[in-house]
Structure 1
Amino acid sequence: MNTFRINITLLFIAIFSISSYAQEKLNKYKYISIPKQLALQKSPNQYGINTILKDYLTKYDFTVFIKGDTIPKNINPCDILNLDADKSGFLTTKVIISFTDCYGNNVHNSIEGVSRIKEFKPAYYESLRAALKDPNIQEHQFTGTITSTTTTAQNISSSNSFILELKGQNYLFKETGTQDEYQVYKNEELIGSLKKSEGDHYILKAGTLNGTGNFDDFGNFSLTRVNPVNNASITDIMARVN
């Protein structure tokens, strides 16, 4: 009996520790970005879900933007969490809301919201409301620090230079004098170039960073490369520092 009680106590301690850690990670963030179209949607803001999510999360000490909203220029892109919501289930609608950082790393997944309603619209509403009952969301209190940046991420061509960070390493991009063309430096050593190709796409030639990509609304660069060993496509987020 004593062994059983000890095991139960240890289980509760473990659950509490995991929950506290999840809460701590989420509390480090003040801002959330919601895409125009979530993974569970077939069209932008279908059923008004994106707007509903924004209203709900604002109640829980978050400042929320929907992609396309004007974001203050002094907000560091890496102070913003990216939200998405996906569904699963056949006879039921199951929804999980996910939060990822500027590097694409998962910060938190909500509890699973479930609805047995057959019609899509009310089923989404019910399952999303259930997912938003996640205590780590409802008890969110921002405890982090806000890092200001003085440059805009909307148009990188307006800056003579900017810094992107990947896996702890900073890379400096200096304008060459030709529009949308930059020299790339690592530890003050010239390692390559970044040039605009078609549309919003860029070609990066810098050794192991060789690849293509584009900038998001916050100035982060989504870099896609090919693994020479297995020819698999690899996508990394180079986070805007300034």
Structure 2
Amino acid sequence: MKTKFLSLLVMCLVAGSLFAQTNLNAYKYVIVPNKYDFLKEKDQYQLNSLTQFLFEKYGFTALKEGEAYPDDLVKNRCLALKSDAMKDPGLFKTKLTVELKDCNDAVVYTTKVGESREKDFYRAYTEALRDAFTDIEALNYKYEPNLAATTTTTTVVAATNTNQEIQELKNEIQALKEKEAQQAASVAVVPVVAAEKVETAKEAKTMEAEVKEVMNSVLYAQEIENGYQLVDATPKVVYKITKTAQPNLYMVNGENAIIYKKGDTWLIEFNTSEGTKQKELNIKF
């Protein structure tokens, strides 16, 4: 019975390791912070530099926080994991754990607790960190891009439907203009007819303005690498957005903003010095 239990435990550990490896292999980069919360200074005891070195040693592409990031990472921050090291309490031992989070701050991997009995802080922290990294080493990490199947059918159909709606509005405007011309040619010119002409002209101008507003407000989603570019009827690229791990949530490239769907409505949310601001968007995917 004891042998069966030990065998089951080993199988669970192996399965957990393989699952973690598969998850981490989908990420191309690891971002290492410049300072850990449990230390007072940046890269104190060279612990952050050692973290970057160890990630590189075990196959990762490690970047320091704030440095110039590669173009693909700038376009898609979800290609990177954010690393952190945390100190566990202990009287006679220095204990450190390494944690990895995705672009949504969800923890995707945590190492074992690395330990050291050294009294010197420099040696204790580096030894505990190296001990924690034995779990990272065991993963045998290798980057494997996770390509999702995409289709443009929905975008084309949505754009076609919108164009039809705009054309119908144009046809109505033309019909109103023709009606106005017929009334102008009428022999019996009375105040009532004149009033109708004025009203008809107002209606035509109003509907024409509505058409222009519809054409200017609709943004068409055109698929690009790792996301979409949103263009108006000009066509002009208004926003470039990058996919995230969450459905219907996108990062806006070059701006401190996100675009997400709430119910049937698409919203863009900006972070400003005055707080968070929202604006409704008419997006056709």
| Equivalent-residue separation in structure 2 for 1:69 and 1:172 (angstroms) | 20
Match of 1:50 among 48, 51, 72: 48
Matched AA of 1:34: V
Give the aligned length.
Answer: 191
Structure 1 residue 72: Cα displacement: 1.1
TM (normalized to structure 2)?
0.57
Equivalence for 2:249 = 170
Structure 1 residue 104: Cα displacement: 0.7
Higher helix content, 1 or 2: 2
Match of 1:64 among 62, 77, 82: 62
Larger radius of gyration: 2
Matched AA of 2:94: T
Distance change >3 Å, CA 190–CA 24, structure 1 → 2: closer
Distance change >3 Å, CA 174–CA 110, structure 1 → 2: closer
- Alignment of 1:19 with 2:17, yes or no, is yes
Equivalence for 1:31 = 29
Aligned counterparts, 1:31-180, within 5 A: 31-75=29-73, 76-88=76-88, 89-135=90-136, 139-145=140-146, 160-163=238-241, 165=244, 167-170=246-249
Match of 2:272 among 191, 196, 219: 196
Q: Are the aligned partners of 1:113 and 1:128 in contact in 2 as well (CA < 8 Å)? A: yes
Equivalence for 1:230 = none
| Equivalent-residue separation in structure 2 for 1:22 and 1:166 (angstroms) | 17
**1:127 match: secondary structure:** helix
| Equivalent-residue separation in structure 2 for 1:181 and 1:62 (angstroms) | 28
Structure 1 regions of 5+ residues with no counterpart? 152-158, 208-242
TM (normalized to structure 1)?
0.66
| Equivalent-residue separation in structure 2 for 1:68 and 1:181 (angstroms) | 16
**1:50 match: secondary structure:** helix
Matched AA of 1:197: S
Higher strand content, 1 or 2: 1
Of structures 1 and 2, the one with the larger relative CO (CA 8 A, separation 6+) is: 1
| Equivalent-residue separation in structure 2 for 1:98 and 1:107 (angstroms) | 8
Q: Are the aligned partners of 1:37 and 1:45 in contact in 2 as well (CA < 8 Å)? A: yes
Distance change >3 Å, CA 80–CA 184, structure 1 → 2: closer
Structure 1 residue 90: Cα displacement: 2.5
Structure 2 regions of 5+ residues with no counterpart? 149-224, 229-236, 281-285
- Cα deviation, 1:150-183, whole Å, max 9, x if unaligned, reads 99xxxxxxx94243658422358699xxxx7989
RMSD between aligned residues? 3.5
Q: Are the aligned partners of 1:132 and 1:138 in contact in 2 as well (CA < 8 Å)? A: no
Q: Are the aligned partners of 2:248 and 2:260 in contact in 1 as well (CA < 8 Å)? A: no
